[in-house]
Structure 1
């Protein structure tokens, strides 16, 4: 089977490379000529461990190619994956303009049977919309099916997750489409769930919303732990040993971010409201997440007093380690809060960089970690990059103006830091 992947962003590029690794012939299509040229040269336009190596491997093997020619790409491939963005609108709804444009392009250019599969995270009912959009755009009544096959990739672990998934969800009303998708994944060993397109679409949203729920739950509980002198890390450990709960996503910190959780939770809440249902638990999840970064700022202010003209080192910008993704990153909210209080900010992240925006002109981005810590009145840990655990804090104490560390990711050992003479404050202990 020849596969077309439309959209070569994070999901599309990963999807294309993994199908090539599984032995299929893959074409990546994008309207961005610069992006396509980079990919043809074996260069990713984002950071994801292991993915660029796969890209170069399969360019050389001939399993994958890239193009901007949508007419030829659509006509030459029978399986078409939609992997374009569905960003949030101001009201929390998913912006479907790119999905709609792709559906119309497929309808206009198709020259025979096509199976169209949505990988993009889309609202419940999108499969029916795509079917209608393709049908309305057809110049000739060629047969086609539309199925849902959501992705469950963790940024920083995308290659591992895509090659070793914990489940494959196939949402389809067509036996032909279901059989084709099962054949596509025949070499992958994991549970395969065959369901309706609407159910598949909701599984994706519900999964991300539940994980966001766990994060906000432990973050709010961490505030109580501070108040009653309990270590939230020990609470998390004790809870996580219960297999009904599980240890993942129970690490207290300054909140979740990225391209999925914030927009998916908002979209699910909006879907519920449109159907006269109140998802009050998820509304609270969002509220906790939007205020969690302020908890770290409050702790910093309690220690330093006024933050005006204080030199603050921010370690970590990406919303999580092993990615350069800063979308909805809690570090951005921390930085914006500090700027509003006239603090001087020195930022270091091993991969991620600030957007080219006037809002961040007062922030100094450092190329070396030591530069960020020089004469700092406090360090705020915002991303749990492994290299931060290896910092020689005894040596760095002499570099700083005041030995204050506020660990927004609970990644350092409190006892060790305090033994070195630091004032150390985590989240919930």
Structure 2
């Protein structure tokens, strides 16, 4: 692994643009938003009026941005107001399971913006998603009728409509334990909250504080972390094992996760889905580490997953009871048994391989360690794409289950 390095993230560059549409309002929006980069340029001011530019240009920028947002908002949220869509935006925090490319410009091993990743993504492009195709954030956004892809917040080409309908702050290698992100030289869970705060400032600058507050309060927030803490920080590189026994470390993680969730709620998120950890002992890399000749799931890692999920679900239920009086809903999502069902009953879902990864089955068969390596030709038969991450097909099935079981609580 690369040596720990706490590099900071790059400021996101925004381009407030929209797709052309035949409607008069959409044409008006396109013209207005198109003025923003022009107004931002000092060359648009006449030389003999340069003294007025310092006041006029910022004022025009603000007016144009506000007018553009006013035209754009009905096209993004109109469906919801008509009662046909109850969720208009989605935001994800977490690790590589839901990272769509926030680590692409970082010096870290936890990145996936190269083949064979993205082989089955639209256009066959490796975008930084840790799978052969779409990841859970994309699938959730699409199935909920919000948009087809959930972009990374640290993308250089975000558009205004992306900010209004949601982004992902997740970073591969992250966790609730601060040490976990240091080991992977990635952004921590606290850093992701800082990104969210940056997002709020950018959206406020474009549409105003009232509209920003509405987007946040009506959006759905999901957090998907904890796997790296248990697998990498406790078992694979047993640094924390020298400080904690397993129950004590799980208590530490649960406390950190609850503090993260409280902070997210305090920052304006009203509808929060907390996703537990999967059966980590069933990841191909963990089976390989355990040395099971029969390729069975490693029991101790699964016990750690179950212990964390049991304790965090209890704490999430308690937190929801405390904060529901203030208009918040915080729900625990079970991913453990939903994924385990695929592993234990593969034929029911059309899978043939449950313990091997399409790209390999060791801890080095993932992330930068498999850059430009070959993969199996038939990913549709596999539950796992690499040593840690499921395939798009497996994600798709699990996301369907999560929506069916839980989203009614966040509507």
Instruction: Name the larger-Rg structure.
Output: 1
Shorter-chain-normalised TM-score: which range? under 0.3
TM-score, normalised by the number of residues in structure 2: 0.27
Point out the structure with the larger strand share: 1
